[in-house]
Each structure stands twice: as C-alpha cells, then as structure tokens.
Amino acid sequence: MAVEILMPALSPTMEEGTLAKWLVKEGDAVKSGQIIAEIETDKATMEFEAVDEGTIGKLLIAEGTAGVKVNTPIAMLLEDGDAADAKPAAAVVAAPVVAAPVAVAAVAAPVAAKAGGARVFASPLARRIAAEKGLDLTAIKGSGPHGRIVRADVEGAKAAAPVAAVAAAPVQAPMAAVAAASGPSTETVLKTYADRPFEEIALNGMRKTIAARLTEAKQTVPHFYLRRDIELDALMAFRGQLNAKLEARGVKLSVNDFIIKACALALQQVPAANAVWAGDRVLQFKKSDVAVAVAIEGGLFTPVLKDAEAKSLSALSAEMKDLAKRARDRKLAPHEYQGGSFAISNLGMFGIDNFDAIINPPHAAILAVGAGVAKPIVKDGAVVVGTVMSVTLSVDHRVIDGALGAQLLTAIKDNLENPLAMLA
C-alpha cells in the first residue's frame, strides 16, 4: 500500500512552508536518509530526508508552491509490489520534528509512542503486519536505519496479546493569528484606502510568525522597564588597546562583543535572573546562553551564543560574526536560534538613542541598546564631556521582580564601565 509523505514541521513555530525544490522525480527509487526536497520554513531553507525506502509514485505538490500546511501530503511513496495508482495508507500525523544542523528527519514514517514518552519508528508495512499478528511494536527491536522496525523484524516476532491502538501524537495547535480585535479588519482597511494607490505585499512565513509571537508576547507577558545610562569612555579606550594588539590575528572587537560578555557575566553575578518562564514554573540556568537579535531582509533572527560567560571576547566576536552571516543567508539550524534566557537588541549602529524592546518568550528579559553619544556628565564635581550609551531592560515580572531586575542591570552597567574586570 502506498504511503503519503507529509509536509514536516521543521521548527517549533512552523505552520506552513514552501516546497522550494524537489530533488527526486516520479519513478525514482529512494533510500532511507536520502534528501528528497528542499523546504523553506518561516526561518530558513532546510533539507528534507526520506525515512522509508521505496519508489516515488507521485509528486502531489509542485516546486515553488507556498503556504503548504504542515502534515499536508506532498508525495506518494510506493513499496515493493505497489501499483502506481495504489491507494495510500491512512495518514499518520507525527509529532513536529526539530531540524538537525545539516539534514532533517522526515515525518513520513508512522510513529508510535512508548510508555514514558519515547517514540517507536516503524515502516508502514511493518506496522500493518504487526497489527495483523497482534504484536506490540514497543517490544520489538528494529534492525533498520536508526533502529527503525522493518518487515523482517515483525515477521520473525512472536504474536502477543492484541495491544490497544496507540493514539497519534498530538499535533501542536496552529499558532493563533494576530487577534482580530487588535485592529480593524482587512476589509475595513481596504475600503478606507480604496481611493489611494497602493501595492499589496503578502506576508511571508517569517513575518507572520513575528507578528503572531510578538502580539502574543506584548499581550500576555507583564513587561516592566528599567533604564540606565552607561559611560563608555573606559571601554572605548580598552577596546582600542585590545584591537591594536589583536590586529595581527585579524581580530577586531566591537562594542557589541563587550555587551554580550557583560550580559553573560551579569547573569552569573545575579543567577536568580538567569531564568525563563515555563508555564507553571520557572527554570533557572547554570550557564549564560545569550541571544542577539540580527536584522535580515523581511525579519530577524536571534542566534544564541551558548556558555557565553566562559568564552573570550575574541571567541564571542568570531562566533557572533559567523552566526550573523549565516542568519542573513538563512543558513542557521533551529538549535542555533532557539533557547537562551536573555536577549540583546542593539540599534545603536542605526543612530537610535534609546528604545524599548519586546521580550521574546520564554526569555525573562531583553536589553535594548542605544547609540553611544557625547554628553555632559559630572565627575568629581566638574562637568565634562563623555560617551554615554542609554540602555533599557525589558523584564518579565512573572520571573524577575523590580529589585532583582535592578541588580541585573546594575551588574551589566558595572561590567561595561569596568571592562578590564571582565577578563579577570
């Protein structure tokens, strides 16, 4: 019986994707692990692997088709002896799969749940034979790729008492669209501007995700804001000295590199603030995983620098440059932009003096960084000109109270105003 290959969920936020390119054609034989398509998600273009072996019977979705919903059949896979017009087996909806750095496991193969939440991978033919013989798949060891149960495994197994049907893994409910109550309807807006020339720009997956997530964040996360001015003169002088020494190695540190390091150390100095909201509990972390917003065409990424407190400034600089470049090329894997407990959004390079950033759940805080500008400051009773950077810490009050947030921001300020101490 033919098997439907379904549009996979290649990231936790993916609801639909674009089938960018087929790498196989009808009649091609495919093996488990073979890359068969390239799929554009809301964040990146990912490779899609086959799980089952067989022959491509029919491509159901054409190249370049956008808006293909997750779990929509995109192709038919024929097993040995199947005719080209064979009817598909009942579609099995698998749990969303998180993409690996290079290749992504497809969700075409049916998946059963083991006790304790683990999953059992089995080919459709093996599953049918097991059902006929009354076999419990969770008790069978698979000999196929990655431990997948294949026909030979179930044919040689002894029949057992019939097992209850395993419920399909629950499908993550589609992300709620931006609430209609948050503004006038599409029809109302179109009527309002009917007599004015305009161009309609369709929302891509990334823009839809940003709109939905940030609307949800602003409406459901109790934000409060803390602001400080940070004097940068000592940092600028220290940075100049370091860059002069590092020039021979081709290393040039940016102010943003110091900010990342300062925040990572501050999360260690105020460990109670190194946490995220987890619905009915708070998760507090031992390491400082800091996300940094990177603007790209049509949206943004927040790649995460893990264990940032333990890395040198030059290592952070090199890693950030690599992540930013691959973010703009949309080559980041999901594990590189998911996670972290704290984020940085720096608009200083665009000349913005100060702003308030929206928290990206489940993070508990985000630091909005403005430009360093010359301002009059008072030192030892005299007014002098210094370079001052304004920052705003947006905080989730469910995780971090006012006093704790103030301690965190003070630690960030102290680290930046005493940069030599960050190397101790």
Terminal Cα-to-Cα distance of the chain (whole angstroms): 66
d(CA 18, CA 153): 36
Measuring CA to CA, which residue among 47, 54, 64 is closest to residue 2? 54
The single residue listed with the structure tokens 């609307």 is 215
3-state secondary structure of 238: helix
HEC profile of 328-362:
HCCCCCHHHHCCCCEEEEECHHHCCCCCCCCCCCC
Active site residue 223: no
CA dihedral 345, 350, 352, 355 (to 10 degrees): -20
CA distances to 35, 96, 102, 217, 369 from 15, rounded to whole Å, are: 21, 10, 21, 18, 32
> Which tokens in the block code for residue 3?
């098997």
DSSP-assigned states of every residue in 104-140: E--S-S-EEEPTTS-EEEB-HHHHHHHHHHT--GGGS
- Give the gyration radius of the chain's Cα atoms: 26
How does DSSP assign 169-199, residue by residue? Answer: PPPPPPPPPPPGGGS--HHHHHHHTTTS---
Count of CB atoms situated within 10 Å of the CB of 94 = 23
CB 337 within 8 A of CB 43: yes
Distance of CA 185 to the CA centre of its chain: 30
Catalytic residues: 397
